[in-house]
Amino acid sequence: MEANDVWYDSAVSYQLDVATFHDSNGDGIGDFPGLTARLDYLRQLGINSLLLMPFHPSSELDDGYDVIDHYGIDPHLGSFGDFSAFIDEARARGIRVLLDLVVNHTSSQHPWFQASRQPGSPLRDYYVWVEEPDDDHADQVMFPDRYDSVWTYDEQAGAYYFHRFHDFEPSLNHGNPKVRQEVMRILSFWLALGVDGFRVDAAPYLILPKGPAQHFSDPHEYLRQLRRHTSRYGHGALLVGEANVAPEELGQFFGDGDGLNQLFNFVGAERMFLALAREDGTPIRELESLLPPLPPSAQWMNFLRHHDELNLTWLDPATREQLLDSIAPHEHMRIYGRGTRRRLAPLLGDPRRVRLAQSLLFSRSGAPLLYYGDELGMGDKLELPDRFPVRTPMQWSAERNGGFSTADPQRLIRPMIDDGEYGYARVNATEQWLQPQSQLNATRTLIETRRSCPEFGLGRHEFIECDGGAAVLAESYFLDHGRVVCVHNLSRNACTVRIRHPELAGRDCYELISRQVARADAIGALELRLAPYGYTWWRVGSIFSPAENGASVASALAEAPS
């Protein structure tokens, strides 16, 4: 395996929307030159992979997920020259770039759909049309508060079209080989421009039947086809699937290591929040029995929050309601009957819990994803509709508009959080960068430490003996001769615990965050004092990682793009 083929094993990814990150020209909308100007901030934070939300021309009804042209760039966000300059500057800083591949559906204004509306059009079968649906299929609707059917009648077409999401987002018919060819062309186009991979939006719905159309003899062969196509580019292109399906179905998306490289870990996210709410590590301990084993080279992409709601679908109804009562007690904080539209910091409240949650995230096996602004503890704007409360502009400074834009506030693409506990005067990158104990610097330390430990991305995981009860989670990650031990206190109460593992016996252990040293006794026991919501990361036997010691994994950890 070439080193570049496993770059994502050591990746720390950061999801952002170009339109809300930084505005370079004062029109109130973030753009690629603005993002390029902030790459040094991201590099210093420790980010080496960016996941960009859609930036294509759209009908502007679903924050870019209603694409009109998959080959274009929204002119408000810049030109292809600006995009190429961004790619070059990101690459120079060792930062990979992933795009959101939104091909489950298009905008109803997309030229394909407009042509498809004509009876007899050669593009008719690009979408799913029926003269009369046999069922509303209301159980397949993604937004049950807005729609009660996946079918909408189009007078010009004289037929109903299928849409699992909004009625202005007709679903593509991926059972049509011509549609699959179009998707391959889209992948090729952006890979040729230097991107390093894609988040496959709504991955299960590419392969599930839509009405009477699109029936695959082997649905997952299509995903393997996508993998083979991206692999031809030879620079380790990554496919990350958004597949929020039942845990027992997840393994099919990885295949035998020939399917998607990574999957968003929705089950892991809801379990982390359940553990935090209960102050009990049991939901995290149960994850290994819930998730399928991973084939070689496959990984989970772990996250706490992202651009959509915190989705709690796979908790039983009583547990889901119990958790929502804790983290989103008011109805306007909830959405779609399955989750919350709050950001991480207001959702957890206590800054110590936010840091604990981030320590849990960055110490998971797999690859962590950080949502923009969560490194600062940004808040949400609940007066905005739908999923938009967590999509407010980035807060760079205490200056006007939080340093996001010089435009008049009424011209901004979205209102700033401009007052209260999370207003930009109090929560911003500039002020926090100057404060050693800030949320930003705590996040940066976790990322730096994570990236120094190849055991998390490449090693094996096990829970280890600990006498701290259910509230204390003690875990070990090991790779060749390297071992890292992480201990988390999910309780609001301080505690003294004793962990034990035979590999610790008589060895020095080095605390990686506070820079302390302690020696385990002859039976491998180590006594630790944990603060309320405290955490501690220890390297066993040496301050150096296996890669720094010249172990066999060193060649697998190339972080800078070639």
Q: Classify 176 as helix, strand or coil.
A: coil
Closest CA to 127 of 141, 113, 138: 113
With residue 248 as reference, give the H or E element that holds it.
Answer: none
Q: Classify 305 as helix, strand or coil.
A: coil
**Radius of gyration (C-alpha) of the chain in whole angstroms:** 24
How many Å is the maximal CA-CA distance in the chain? 80
Q: Please indicate whether residue 201 is annotated as part of the active site.
A: yes
Sort strands 535-540 and 482-489 into parallel, antiparallel or unpaired.
antiparallel
Which residue(s) pair with 509 in the sheet?
Answer: 518, 540
Which is catalytic among the residues 169, 201, 455, 475?
201
**Token couple for 97:** 């770039």
Which is catalytic among the residues 82, 100, 242, 270?
242
**Do residues 214 and 281 make contact, with C-beta atoms less than 8 angstroms apart?**
no
**Do residues 279 and 273 make contact, with C-beta atoms less than 8 angstroms apart?**
no
Any residues with CB less than 8 A from the CB of 29 and at least 6 apart, and which?
Answer: 19, 23, 76, 77, 405, 412, 413
**Rounded CA gap, 520 and 501, in Å?**
9
Q: Please indicate whether residue 383 is annotated as part of the active site.
A: no
**Do residues 52 and 201 make contact, with C-beta atoms less than 8 angstroms apart?**
no
Strand order in the sheet with 525-530: 465-466, 495-500, 525-530
Spacing of C-alpha 371 from chain mean position: 7
**Token couple for 375:** 């490194």
Closest CA to 266 of 316, 305, 320: 305
**Token couple for 492:** 């609001």
Burial class of residue 471 in the structure, from the number of CB atoms within 10 Å of its CB (0-12 exposed, 13-18 middle, 19+ buried): buried
List the catalytic residues: 201, 242
